[in-house]
Amino acid sequence: MVSIYTPRERMLAAYEGRFSDVVPVAPEFWYYIPAKLLGLPMCQFELDVPHWQALQHTFKHYACEGWGIVAPGTPALTEQQRSATHRLDDGRYEQVNTITTGRYSLTSRTVFDAHEPSWLTERYIKNFDADWPMYANATLVAPETLDWRPVQSALDQVGEDYLLEVFAGFPFVDYAGTQREGGLQQVIFDLIEREGEMRALQKRHIEQVTGLIRAAFAHTTARAIFIASSWSSMSLLSPAIWRKWERPLLIAAIEAAHECGGLIHHHFHGRCMAILPDLAALGLDCICPWERPPGGDVTNLAAVRQALGEHTTFNGNVNTVETLIRGTPADAHREVQEILAAYEGSPRLIIGTGDQVGAETPDDNIHAMIAAARR
């Protein structure tokens, strides 16, 4: 009798290097397509709808596999934290977040738009010496103090519909830069000019992420951990900076997840081929999305497969702009066939997209991508 797998089981089988009944197909439906299917403006989608729930609706709509993330609730902290959202004159919304200790406050501002995902207009950390200690104490908290009930509730409600992973954080440069005024450019200066302080922060960050991973497996039924990235790619960092500031976190996170018997998935956008041997040697269970140009530099799928071997699962590579937005169903079919051919005979494959699927993507192209893998 042929075994029938659930979408979640197919993803887990691929992460573990096992064959299932079909090759999993997991387009990165993140903001645009779920908001479109729910008929909501982006601001309402982000502010009011649990993201894991929107993904569940989307994956079921397209009858495909997928992955998503969920995070624990934050504890009550010594620092007073407040958040207020108000409507702007142009129909957008602004969320003002403050962290206060005594007479000193940190402020960040985020704008929510009807059509595009939100963006920061003000970041907490303006003055390195004054702001960093306060921000670090507010974010690098003991994992045991987090509320894991929302994570387990989401896992229970998603069930077998897709693979819901626990969000464990970012590599260090992303963590350091997300709320640093001046963004990536300023963080690069900080790494050079304030190396001692940044090394101390890196150590605390690694301890917090690894503790969170162990707590996630201890307090929930999650099977996989997710490490995100925004700036941590060879599109923005040099291999030397990545090896010095990003790789240590990944090594520690992988060790923690595997010690707990769990799986770990790293989302790595942009160019990556300059550190392909490094990525392959880490021992990650899955890496995505292996972007083609112009967003990435993955054009030699055979080289990627040879480097990863049968130790790390490949997920991604279908071009979201040239193929899914501007192309035809035949183009989507052709690109999927290229990936299938490169990974023929290997269970370490998930057909995915090189970035999130855009709102203007023709539905026929999405269905063609899924159908091509099913055949």
Q: What is the pLDDT of residues 293-307, one digit of tens each?
A: 999 999 999 999 999
CA distance 59 to 183: 34
* Residue at a domain's end among 93, 124, 155: 124
Clarify whether residues 240 and 347 are in a common domain.
yes
On the question of pLDDT at 202 being above 50, the answer is: yes
* Residue at a domain's end among 89, 124, 159: 124
Clarify whether residues 12 and 109 are in a common domain.
no
pLDDT, average across residues 134-148:
90
pLDDT at 1: 40
Residue 129 lies in a domain: no
Clarify whether residues 107 and 188 are in a common domain.
no
Q: How many domains does the chain have?
A: 2
pLDDT at 79: 57
Clarify whether residues 102 and 222 are in a common domain.
no
pTM of the model: 0.94
Question: Regarding beta strands 104-112 and 119-122, do their DSSP bridges make them parallel or antiparallel, or are they unpaired?
Answer: antiparallel
On the question of pLDDT at 2 being above 90, the answer is: no
On the question of pLDDT at 48 being above 80, the answer is: yes
Clarify whether residues 103 and 211 are in a common domain.
no
Clarify whether residues 175 and 249 are in a common domain.
yes
On the question of pLDDT at 131 being above 60, the answer is: yes
Clarify whether residues 114 and 154 are in a common domain.
no
Residue 89 lies in a domain: yes
pLDDT at 3: 59
pLDDT, average across residues 219-242:
96
On the question of pLDDT at 58 being above 50, the answer is: yes
> Closest Cα partner for 350 from 2, 56, 61, 16?
16
Clarify whether residues 198 and 105 are in a common domain.
no
C-alpha dist (Å) from residue 177 to 30, 106, 124: 22, 15, 10
CB 90 within 8 A of CB 84: no
pLDDT at 188: 96
Residue 329 lies in a domain: yes
Q: Which residues pair with 84 in a beta bridge?
A: 96
pLDDT tier, 192 (very low <50, low <70, confident <90, very high otherwise): very high
CB 160 within 8 A of CB 154: no
Residue 12: give its domain's CATH number: 3.20.20.210
Q: What is the pLDDT of residues 304-339, one digit of tens each?
A: 999 999 999 999 999 999 999 999 999 999 999 999
Clarify whether residues 99 and 230 are in a common domain.
no
Q: What is the pLDDT of residues 64-113, one digit of tens each?
A: 999 999 999 876 555 578 889 999 988 899 999 999 887 889 999 999 99
**Domain of 328?**
7-75+141-374
pLDDT at 299: 94
Clarify whether residues 71 and 82 are in a common domain.
no
Residue 219 lies in a domain: yes
pLDDT at 76: 53
Clarify whether residues 118 and 192 are in a common domain.
no
Average pLDDT across the chain, whole number: 95
Clarify whether residues 205 and 326 are in a common domain.
yes
Residue 45 lies in a domain: yes
Residue 306 lies in a domain: yes
